[in-house]
Amino acid sequence: MKGPLSGVRVLAVSQAIAGPYGSMLLADLGAEVIKIEPPGHGDRSRLFPGPNHEGESYYFLAFNRNKKSITLDLATELGRETFHDLVKMSDVVWDNFRPGVMERLGADYDTLKEINPGIICCSVTGFGSSGPYWDRPSFDLVAQAISGAMSITGEPGGPPLRAGPPISDLVAGMFGVHGVIAALYQRTFTGKGQRVETSLLDGQVSNLTYQMCYYFCGGEVPGPMGSGHLSMVPYGAFKTKEGYLVMGVGWPRLARVLGIEEIIDDPRFADHSLRLEHREELEAIVREAFLKEKAEDWLPVLEVEDIPCGPVNTIDKAVADPQIIHNNMIVGVKHPLGGEVRMVGNPIKMPHSIEEEFTAPPTLGQHNDDILIGLLGYSEERIQRVRGEEEKRAQELLASLERRG
């Protein structure tokens, strides 16, 4: 990939979603991302069940394009030495492990800045590196729950629901990228790197900016509203004679489109505040009106009146949507094991900087020789010593597991 981050080298010591997603965004912007994976099994998402391409898990494929893969055991002495040699010629070390793991591996910022003062270390954690929850395990679901996001997701009176996408993971990855780019910019003036931190919890709290401000200003705790909005009405998803559509505010044009002009002068709906006060009555009238025609018939009429609207697409329809296709958000890449993999494209458009020529997510250790020989200049003897130490440790771990039953 060519892009604004061309020339930046990132060592990604990460797995699952938050880390790999963020490092993929850096790769999409042109950075050379070297994915450091444990020998044998690699990123645990390679092992996830479900659909696959030539044995490569859909989960791994989704978050790891435009990267190189090297297998390296940082728990061994030679593995750490190799990693440190890479740090000397890199710009960023990116991880998403629990606090303390990188320290135990000799890959934390305090250690690495002695090797390369310009190194930027970004850690994406569950809760942060300090505080009452710092060493707890975390998943997207947990951050959505603790942040309050689940309490406002779903239908009124229903159980709390998580957002469909793993939004805590994805947003944490995005904020990590923001921090890294800012640190790279600052380094151009100072010559020094720094530590960057973000967490699933902090990112999810940041997502709740206006809901929390609503509470701070009025003291009222927001609850689930389905597809509705705290301050706009009518707004949300509406069932039609066939299919659902979503619609933003377009009052009073909406009343005319729906053929219910008589409610424009209804005193209950005379201004914005009154429409909010009588939300249920107004939306009941609108829902009944929408049931008279199909979604495909309503949408063109709404668009003519410049009312924000759209169909509620299922995934199969979304990937064929003409605007999504036009935006190059569905791309195909040739896979090293054969065939083509389709995946989501890069949402950041910089036509004068980014040439969107994507490479497939790497197979495990696909670039070992390119990196160990081509980049580091290691001899075959040195490489065999690294691999021998890794194999010895793997056997010791297996024996330890067998002893424990």
* Residues 14-65 pLDDT 10s: 999 999 999 999 999 999 999 999 998 899 999 999 999 999 999 999 999 9
Task: Give the residue extent of every domain in the chain.
Answer: 9-207+356-403, 244-311
Percent of the chain whose predicted confidence (pLDDT) is above 70: 99
**Largest pairwise CA distance in the chain:** 86
Show the beta-strand stretches assigned E in 155-252.
195-199, 236-239, 244-247
Mean pLDDT of 270-276: 95
pLDDT at position 405: 60
Q: Which among 28, 108, 169, 202 is annotated as catalytic?
A: 169
pLDDT attached to residue 224 = 96
Q: Please compute the mean of the pLDDT values over residues 343-352 and round it to a whole number.
A: 93
**Could you tell me which residues come within 8 angstroms of residue 163 by beta carbon, excluding any fewer than 6 positions away?**
144, 149, 153
Give the chain's mean pLDDT: 95
Domain 244-311: give its CATH superfamily: formyl-coa transferase, domain 3 (3.30.1540.10)
Classify domain 9-207+356-403 at the CATH topology level: Rossmann fold (3.40.50)
Residue 399 predicted with pLDDT over 80: no
Where are any strands of DSSP class E within 212-290?
Answer: 236-239, 244-247
Burial readout 303-342 (b: 16 or more C-beta within 10 A, e: otherwise): eeeebebebbeeeeeeeeeeebeeeebebebebeeeeebe
Taking residues 103-126, report their average pLDDT. 97
Helix (H) or strand (E) holding 333: strand 330-334
Distance CA 157, CA 178 (A): 37
401 falls in which pLDDT band (50, 70, 90)? low
Minimum mean pLDDT among 30-44, 53-67, 220-234, 347-361: which range? 347-361
Average pLDDT in the 171-187 region? 98
pTM for the model stands at 0.94
Write the CA distances from 309 to 79, 201, 240, 271, 295, integer angstroms: 54, 32, 13, 22, 10
Query: Would you call 28 a catalytic residue per the annotation?
Result: no
Q: What is the rounded average pLDDT of the residues 336-364?
A: 93
Q: For a pLDDT cut of 90, what percent of the chain falls above it?
A: 93
